[in-house]
Amino acid sequence: MAQSVLIVDDAAFMRMMIKDILTKNGYEIAGEAVDGAEAVEKYKEVSPDLVTMDITMPEMDGITALKEIKKFDPNAKIIMCSAMGQQAMVIDAIQEGAKDFIVKPFQADRVLEAIKKTIG
């Protein structure tokens, strides 16, 4: 059975890019969310194997959403997506339990490497 991924990003084209990389490589898209609050709801709904979480989003940012999801499911596997220059936020996210991070613009091989490392 294909492993499922919840994609969280406020930019539709970023979600498209990740979706494209994942579906081409045999992963299933469990759902998409445009902000942290929606990400938390969707996570509870679809129980994905993995979440790709943008850091900077309106309403609720990725780090807050990460904490909320981890509260709900301590075993949640979340990979953060960050733009350049967000190192401090990435470190925060890792300390809060993120498994890895990928930098935008996405490179397919790096995305896949992070996912394989996280969910095998």
Q: Residue 95's domain is classified under what CATH number? A: 3.40.50.2300
Task: Report if residue 13 sits inside a domain.
Answer: yes
Task: Report if residue 27 sits inside a domain.
Answer: yes
Task: Report if residue 78 sits inside a domain.
Answer: yes
Q: With a cut of 80, say whether residue 1 has pLDDT above it.
A: no
86-120 pLDDT, tens per residue? 889 999 999 999 999 999 988 999 999 999 999 97
Question: Which residues form the domain of 51?
Answer: 4-109
Q: How far apart are CA 45 and CA 41, in angstroms?
A: 6
pTM assigned to the model? 0.95
Task: Report if residue 21 sits inside a domain.
Answer: yes
Q: How far apart are CA 49 and CA 104, in angstroms?
A: 22
Task: Report if residue 114 sits inside a domain.
Answer: no
Q: How far is CA 31 from each of CA 7, 27, 71, 87, 96, rounded to the nearest angstrom?
A: 6, 12, 20, 27, 23
